């Protein structure tokens, strides 16, 4: 058994209470390690450390901050295989996806390191002579980061790298299901040269550790990725304290397949989007909206392919689909299967926990496809977060897009068509934050914004692109008057204007 610790002010320390929690492999139940079960005192110590470090870190030049991130990226790249294997053991995704998780952190680090020599502000003309105006970015202060288990390296990198390059200090509370990966990531940042107190790690549960971080008065921003239910509670807490909050939450993503689509290409995108990461992505496809003219062909081919997907430990080369994260996830997925049956959906493939042989030791659920689904069913509206896919009929592109838009979520949509005019109509009319044409619902890139509409988020965009800076900075507008006399702006008097000009 390996024991891991919290990281506070540059030191590895246990929880004040001495309590711990276990991290286990979802494929076979093997113990990965033991980490602190942190409480309010631990969070308070971490926030105090971050607050003390902030004044010095914000004055550290942004290019130098970026150099530290580059060193972290070099370490990540050198250890990608090792980290990928560790990630598979703790989270369950197949090794190729686990290495991709690490690669996304590498990509994000390289992108954000470039911002260390940019951090663009604004420089615009003044309305008065001999006066200069600009706007620059200031760091917020102490940032609280709460991350999910499904991308235990990639999603934290979306938040940590921009927060650091912008000059913030931070406290990170990772998901209780993947705390060991968080420890390993912080070790890399420590090795890269992040000063003591700039990043602090407290492992534990949402209650009390996450709640204490949200409530702490010195934390200026909460950046949260997770369920919509939890995000809503965090938003209310932050509103009470006038605290900034960035939320990236659930999805009910759809792939629209029109009657002129390349059906075989669409099937490839559907299989990857629905059953990659065992359906445990916020961008996973959980609905296929198929034009009635091609629905039968699509469903028949899709069912045949899905039934052949091989479940198993993600480290095995024979595995196509790994486990889901824990027993609670298995029970939730199966509960939705029973709901679907009661509402009249037909289970075409799967529909049960996989318990054959070694699979009985882990949390495996067979890739499941529902037919005869109508848009108002719960399986067509609610996030399941597992390998469950509903197939819905549409009679036209307009109807398909309407079905797509009529959920409480708005993260990712895909449309398959060979007609460029139809593609552009979809770009205009689909109301999700991400849209793919002739590709699946997953595959975002770090140089572009990531996020969604409606119940998927609160308007901020993380995961990439220059807009991520908006989350982690404050604007400061500066005016410099070098005229040597008082110039009164915004005085609507021609006589006064003429005197100023003279």
Q: Kindly write down the DSSP assignment for every residue of 74-90, as one continuous string.
A: HHHHHTHHHHHHHHHHH
Give dist(CA 158, CA 446) in Å, integer.
8
Q: Which pair of structure tokens corresponds to residue 357? A: 């042989």
Query: Rounded CA gap, 10 and 151, in Å?
Result: 25
User: Would you give the end-to-end CA distance of the chain in angstroms?
Assistant: 81
In angstroms, rounded to a whole number, what is the distance separating the alpha carbons of residues 200 and 207?
Answer: 18
Which residues does 223 contact at the CB level (< 8 Å), separation at least 6? Answer: 143, 144, 145, 146, 159, 163, 245, 246, 462, 471, 472
Concerning whether 248 is annotated as a catalytic residue, the answer is: yes
The residue from 176, 184, 190, 248 that is catalytic is 248
DSSP per-residue string spanning 96-153: HHHHHHHHHHHHHHHHHHHHTTT---EEEE-SSTTEEEEEEEEE-SEEEEE--SSSTT
Residue by residue, DSSP assigns 358-403 as GGGGS--B--EEEEEE-TTSGGGTS---SSEEEEEEESSHHHHHHH
CA–CA dist 218, 46 (Å, integer): 11
Which distant-in-sequence residues (6+ apart) come within 8 Å of 338 by Cβ? none
249 contacts: CB under 8 Å, gap ≥ 6: 225, 226, 227, 228, 231, 282, 452, 455, 456, 457
Q: Which helix (H) or strand (E) holds 338?
A: helix 327-343
166 is catalytic: no
Catalytic residue among 166, 238, 282, 285: 282
Cα distance between residue 56 and residue 295, in whole Å: 61
The CA distance from 180 to 367, in Å, is 28
**Token pair listed for 108:** 């994000």
CA distances from 313 to 26, 269, 281, 358 (A): 9, 23, 18, 9
CA distance 383 to 253: 9
CA distance 43 to 206: 12
CA distances from 153 to 7, 174, 452 (A): 17, 10, 21
Q: In angstroms, what CA-CA distances link 164 with 141, 197, 330, 378?
A: 10, 12, 37, 41
- What does the block give as tokens for 477? 């507008």
Please confirm whether the linkage preceding 268 is cis (ω < 30° from 0). no
Query: What amino acid positions are annotated as catalytic residues?
Result: 248, 282
């Amino acid at each position: 058994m390996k024991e891991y610790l919290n990281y506070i002010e540059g030191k590895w320390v246990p929880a004040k209470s001495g309590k711990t929690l276990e991290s286990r492999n979802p494929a076979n139940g093997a113990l990965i390690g033991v980490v602190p079960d942190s409480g309010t005192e631990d969070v308070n110590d971490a926030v105090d450390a971050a607050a003390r470090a902030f004044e010095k870190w914000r004055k550290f030049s942004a290019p130098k901050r970026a150099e530290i991130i580059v060193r972290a990226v070099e370490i990540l790249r050198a250890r990608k295989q090792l980290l990928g294997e560790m990630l598979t053991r703790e989270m369950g995704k197949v090794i190729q996806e686990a290495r991709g998780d690490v690669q996304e952190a590498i990509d994000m680090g390289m992108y954000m390191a470039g911002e260390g020599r940019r951090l663009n502000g604004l420089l615009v003309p003044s309305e008065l002579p001999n006066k200069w105006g600009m706007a620059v970015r200031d760091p917020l202060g102490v940032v609280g980061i709460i991350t999910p288990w499904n991308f235990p390296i990639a999603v934290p990198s979306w938040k940590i790298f921009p927060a650091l390059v912008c000059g913030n200090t931070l406290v990170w509370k990772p998901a209780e299901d993947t705390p060991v990966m968080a420890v390993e990531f912080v070790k890399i940042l420590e090795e890269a040269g992040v000063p003591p107190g700039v990043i602090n790690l407290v492992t534990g549960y949402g209650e009390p550790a996450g709640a204490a971080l949200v409530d702490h008065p010195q934390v200026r921003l909460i950046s949260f990725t997770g369920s919509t239910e939890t995000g809503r509670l965090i938003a209310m807490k932050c509103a009470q304290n006038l605290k900034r909050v960035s939320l990236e939450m659930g999805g009910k993503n759809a792939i629209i397949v029109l009657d002129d689509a390349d059906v075989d290409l669409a099937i490839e995108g559907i299989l990857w989007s629905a059953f990659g990461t065992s359906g445990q992505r916020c961008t996973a496809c959980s609905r296929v909206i198929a034009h009635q003219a091609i629905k039968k062909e699509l469903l028949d081919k899709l069912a045949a392919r899905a039934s052949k997907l091989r479940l198993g430990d993600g480290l095995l080369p024979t595995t196509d689909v790994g486990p889901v994260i824990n027993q609670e996830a298995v029970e939730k997925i199966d509960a939705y299967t029973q709901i679907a049956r009661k509402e009249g959906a037909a289970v075409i493939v799967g529909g049960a926990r996989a318990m054959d042989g070694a699979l009985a030791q882990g949390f495996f659920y067979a890739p499941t496809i529902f037919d005869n689904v109508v848009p108002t069913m719960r399986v067509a509206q609610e996030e399941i977060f597992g390998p469950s896919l509903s197939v819905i009929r549409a009679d036209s592109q307009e109807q398909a897009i309407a079905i797509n838009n009529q959920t409480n979520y708005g993260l990712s949509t895909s449309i398959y068509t060979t007609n460029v005019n139809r593609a552009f109509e979809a770009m205009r009319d689909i109301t999700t934050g991400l849209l793919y044409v002739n590709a699946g619902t997953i595959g975002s890139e770090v140089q572009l914004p990531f996020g969604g509409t409606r119940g998927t988020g609160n308007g901020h965009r993380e995961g990439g692109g220059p807009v991520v800076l908006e989350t982690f900075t404050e604007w400061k507008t500066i005016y410099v008057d070098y005229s040597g006399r008082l110039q009164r702006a915004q005085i609507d008097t021609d006589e006064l204007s003429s005197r100023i000009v003279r």
